[in-house]
Amino acid sequence: MKLHDPQLLKQACYVAGNWVSAIDDAYTPVTNPSTGERIATVPSLGCDETLAAIHVADKVQGDWAARTAKERATVLRRWYDLIVENTQDLATILTLEQGKPLAEAKGEITYAASFVEWYAEEAKRSYGELIPSHKPDARILISKQPIGVVGAITPWNFPAAMITRKCGPAFAAGCAVVLKPAPDTPLTALALAELAERAGIPAGLFSVITGDAGAIGGALTESPIVKKISFTGSTGVGKLLMAQSADTVKKLALELGGNAPFIVCDDADIDKAIAGVMVAKFRNAGQTCICANRIYVHDKVYDEFAAKLVEKVKALKVGDGFEDGANLGPLINAAAVEKVQSHIDDALAKGATLAYGLPQPEGTQFFPPQVLTEMDDSMLIASEETFGPVAALFRFSDDDEVIRRANHVSSGLASYAYTRSLSRAFKFSESLEYGMVGINEGLISTEVAPFGGVKESGLGREGARQGLEDFLEIKYTLMGGL
């Protein structure tokens, strides 16, 4: 791996302001999903190191919160500048450990940096209130105070953005963060910690700990010092962490699994819908929480849409993320390949048609994009998150019917609808039981909007003003005796 700054490849954890190597030679390998080759090792740490990080975070968080918002913003802005300046190296590390094409990795670094930039600005806008008092000799003050020490746990699919989407607002609000990144993609997190240290984030305010997920997560959820758990990952693990946090009544931010419906009405601009579904379905090789998992196409335009989609999918190039022109990198691991294949096999066994798709090359984690037609609601894809490059086309003929079917899942993260009718657009926006709705848009992720889900897709929001509020507590003071 050729980096302009080799110092960004960290094979140690950042614990309480120190770079800590493995203890008793306990390391975890990090492998390249394109080749299976080992690219680095990171320490396998656990409960003790996590508790040490939590205690130091508790010690330094107060001073950080006592700085003015502008002072915190200045440090965040420096972190933003360093991330942008090191985009090439960060993207190289990200592609090497996660597999996405380099161009897409650079896009993620830009997206990740945007949260740091946004919250450097928002830090100065966490306003309070003065409420007209019910007592003549008293005033009602509403102020905002940082929650304190935050335990963060993040997934592998966006190894940079899922971290800054938490750390940006947390640091802006005056909080400290103890982070456990995903075992498949720790290097990006550790590189971000290196840049945070260079930017002036105080020693101990930010720790990045790799190792035993259960032990680290257990320490974070059980410690009374940790006031909030901010988790991004599967719904199953989210529920586990929620239960583990109950004894200390922690605040929770849960960004969990999705199963996005993508609805194409008979009056939609079909070419725009095709452009939208190509992004919503195949970004990150279909490994995003907001990927179009179920594509509902009105009967009147079904054949046209399917034919045009197949033509676009045929042009997609699958390959190593460093290969020129690669559109889809590998899936993250063999289990992901097996799950995607099982969804395809299940659909075909129940009567779906493979409109287009090359066989998955055995012994690799590359998965050629597939288009399945004549899907029905009995198939696994209709109720489970596929997390791979499979476009599954369902038919519908009536708006009320498709809304009912779209809502008939336990998740509620992202949804999409294409129509030229304003009244139908509003009907979808208001009737779809999802935290986010893209109307005639296939890419909805931005730092300026509140990202998050309803039902079993999670709690809280990340991004926008709401993302900062989630790291603040409201305090009411009745200032009497005046």
Ligand X SMILES: O=C[C@H](O)CS(=O)(=O)O
Ligand Y SMILES: NC(=O)c1ccc[n+]([C@@H]2O[C@H](COP(=O)([O-])OP(=O)(O)OC[C@H]3O[C@@H](n4cnc5c(N)ncnc54)[C@H](O)[C@@H]3O)[C@@H](O)[C@H]2O)c1
Known catalytic residues are 255
Binding site partner of 386, from ligand Y, ligand X, none, Cβ cut-off 5-8 A by kind: none
Report 136-155 residues binding ligand Y (CB under 6 A). Answer: 153-155
> Is 232 one of the binding residues for ligand Y (CB under 6 A)?
yes
Taking each continuous run of H as one helix and of E as one strand, the counts in the chain are: 14, 22
Report 279-318 residues binding ligand Y (CB under 6 A). Answer: 289
Backbone phi and psi for residue 47, each to the nearest 5 degrees, phi listed first: -65, -50
Amino acid at 273: A
Residue nearest to ligand Y (CB): 217
Report 172-231 residues binding ligand Y (CB under 6 A). Answer: 180, 182-183, 213-214, 217
CB of 69: closest distance to ligand Y in angstroms? 26
Binding site partner of 440, from ligand Y, ligand X, none, Cβ cut-off 5-8 A by kind: none
Binding site partner of 445, from ligand X, ligand Y, none, Cβ cut-off 5-8 A by kind: ligand X
* DSSP state letters, 401-431: HHHHHHH-SSEESEEEEE-S-HHHHHHHHHH
- Of the pair 155, 467, the CB lying nearest ligand Y is at 155
Of 67-75, 82-90, 234-242, 421-429: span binding ligand Y (CB under 6 A): 234-242
Interface with ligand Y (CB under 6 A), residue from 255, 447, 456, 469: 255
- Of the pair 90, 253, the CB lying nearest ligand Y is at 253
CB burial string 308-322: b at 16+ within 10 A, e below: bbeebbeeeebbbbb
> Is 156 one of the binding residues for ligand Y (CB under 6 A)?
yes
> Is 439 one of the binding residues for ligand Y (CB under 6 A)?
no
- Of the pair 174, 330, the CB lying nearest ligand Y is at 330
- Of the pair 308, 455, the CB lying nearest ligand Y is at 455
CB of 152: closest distance to ligand X in angstroms? 14
What burial class does residue 390 get, using C-beta atoms within 10 Å of its C-beta: 0-12 exposed, 13-18 middle, 19+ buried?
buried
CB of 159: closest distance to ligand X in angstroms? 11
What burial class does residue 89 get, using C-beta atoms within 10 Å of its C-beta: 0-12 exposed, 13-18 middle, 19+ buried?
buried
**SS3 of residue 188 by DSSP:** helix
Contacts with 90 (C-beta within 8 Å, 6 or more apart), sequence order:
8, 83, 105, 109, 160, 188, 191, 192
CB of 215: closest distance to ligand X in angstroms? 26
Strands of 51-205 (E only): list them.
Answer: 129-131, 139-146, 149-153, 176-180
CB of 237: closest distance to ligand Y in angstroms? 4
Binding site partner of 49, from ligand Y, ligand X, none, Cβ cut-off 5-8 A by kind: none
> Is 53 one of the binding residues for ligand Y (CB under 6 A)?
no
CB of 274: closest distance to ligand Y in angstroms? 24
**SS3 of residue 11 by DSSP:** coil
Give the pair of three-digit tokens for residue 475: 């305090």
Binding site partner of 233, from ligand X, ligand Y, none, Cβ cut-off 5-8 A by kind: ligand Y
Cα gap 14→206, rounded to integer Å: 8
Half-sphere exposure of 323 (CA within 13 A, CB side): 15
In the chain, what is the greatest distance between 2 CA atoms, to the nearest angstrom? 78
Backbone phi and psi for residue 460, each to the nearest 5 degrees, phi listed first: 85, 180
- Of the pair 217, 369, the CB lying nearest ligand Y is at 217
- Of the pair 174, 186, the CB lying nearest ligand Y is at 186
Cα dihedral 177, 8, 333, 229 in deg (nearest 10) = 0
- Of the pair 75, 163, the CB lying nearest ligand Y is at 163
CB of 250: closest distance to ligand Y in angstroms? 14
Task: Give the residue from 473, 247, 269, 284 showing the smallest Cα distance to 367.
Answer: 284
Cα gap 433→450, rounded to integer Å: 16
Cα gap 228→314, rounded to integer Å: 45
CB of 155: closest distance to ligand X in angstroms? 7
Cα gap 406→380, rounded to integer Å: 14
x/- track of binding to ligand Y for residues 394-423 (CB under 6 A): -------------------x----------
The binding site for ligand X (CB under 6 A) comprises 157-158, 161, 288-290, 445, 451
x/- track of binding to ligand Y for residues 96-135 (CB under 6 A): ----------------------------------------
CB of 203: closest distance to ligand X in angstroms? 30
> Is 233 one of the binding residues for ligand Y (CB under 6 A)?
yes
- Of the pair 355, 459, the CB lying nearest ligand Y is at 459
- Of the pair 399, 456, the CB lying nearest ligand Y is at 456
Beta bridge partners of residue 373, listed in sequence order: 353
**SS3 of residue 377 by DSSP:** coil
Calculate the CA 131 to chain-centre distance.
37
Binding site partner of 214, from ligand Y, ligand X, none, Cβ cut-off 5-8 A by kind: ligand Y
Task: Return residues touching ligand Y (CB under 6 A).
Answer: 153-158, 162, 180, 182-183, 213-214, 217, 232-234, 237, 240, 255-258, 289, 385, 413, 453, 458
